[in-house]
């Protein structure tokens, strides 16, 4: 059986590398896919032959569309409406947290700057969202 997939939507190459290292270091039973922009994420998610990931880890500060704009588009689409989305960002702003939840985020996590702490948090998130959490198959009625 193939490993479940999580999609990281992140434009910072250093954060992408940290996520990949966290996956490898913790030997997580999940596969990490990366989209480096909002349009790239939606293209990956709307590829008709591809099964949806178990969760999307979504940065806020990105060019083209910010994370909130991506989240709005995900929630407006029947295929991705129920897809778990975790806002994974450096922001600790109460307005950003409130906006994320108002737009339908399932969780809001602030990225730590320490690699060990980032590894622990990323591993915990991936284990929960890719392995513990039950998801609604996009083919099932809502």
**Mean pLDDT, to the nearest integer, of 31-43?**
95
- CA 43 – CA 35 distance, rounded (Å): 9
Whether 58 and 71 have beta carbons less than 8 Å apart is answered as yes
Domain assignment present for 141 = no
Instruction: List, for residues 90-118, the tens digit of each pLDDT value.
Output: 999 999 999 999 999 999 999 998 989 99
Domain assignment present for 139 = no
How far is CA 46 from each of CA 27, 73, 133, 139, rounded to the nearest angstrom? Answer: 28, 11, 22, 13
Mean per-residue pLDDT of the chain? 90
- CA 136 – CA 134 distance, rounded (Å): 7
- CA 136 – CA 126 distance, rounded (Å): 17
Q: Which domain holds residue 82?
A: 5-132
Instruction: List, for residues 48-92, the tens digit of each pLDDT value.
Output: 567 899 999 999 999 899 999 999 999 999 989 999 999 999 999
Domain assignment present for 142 = no
Domain assignment present for 137 = no
Whether 76 and 111 have beta carbons less than 8 Å apart is answered as no
User: Which residue from 136, 79, 86 is spatially nearest to 111, judged by alpha carbons?
Assistant: 86
- State the total domains in the chain: 1
**Which phi and psi angles does 88 have, rounded to 5°?**
-120, 105
Position 1 confidence tier, pLDDT thresholds 50, 70, 90: low
**CATH code assigned at 22:** 3.40.50.2300
């Amino acid at each position: 059986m193939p490993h479940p997939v999580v999609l990281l939507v992140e434009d910072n190459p250093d954060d992408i590398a940290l996520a990949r290292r966290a996956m490898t270091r913790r030997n997580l039973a999940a596969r990490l896919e990366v989209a480096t922009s909002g349009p790239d994420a939606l293209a990956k998610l709307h590829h008709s032959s591809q099964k949806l990931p178990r969760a999307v880890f979504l940065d806020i500060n990105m060019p083209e569309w910010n994370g909130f704009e991506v989240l709005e588009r995900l929630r407006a689409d029947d295929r991705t409406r129920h897809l778990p989305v975790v806002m994974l960002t450096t922001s600790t702003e109460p307005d950003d947290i409130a906006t994320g939840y108002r737009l339908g985020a399932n969780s809001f996590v602030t990225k730590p700057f320490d690699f060990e702490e980032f590894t622990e948090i990323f591993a915990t998130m991936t284990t929960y969202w890719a392995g513990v959490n039950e998801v609604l198959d996009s083919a099932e009625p809502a």
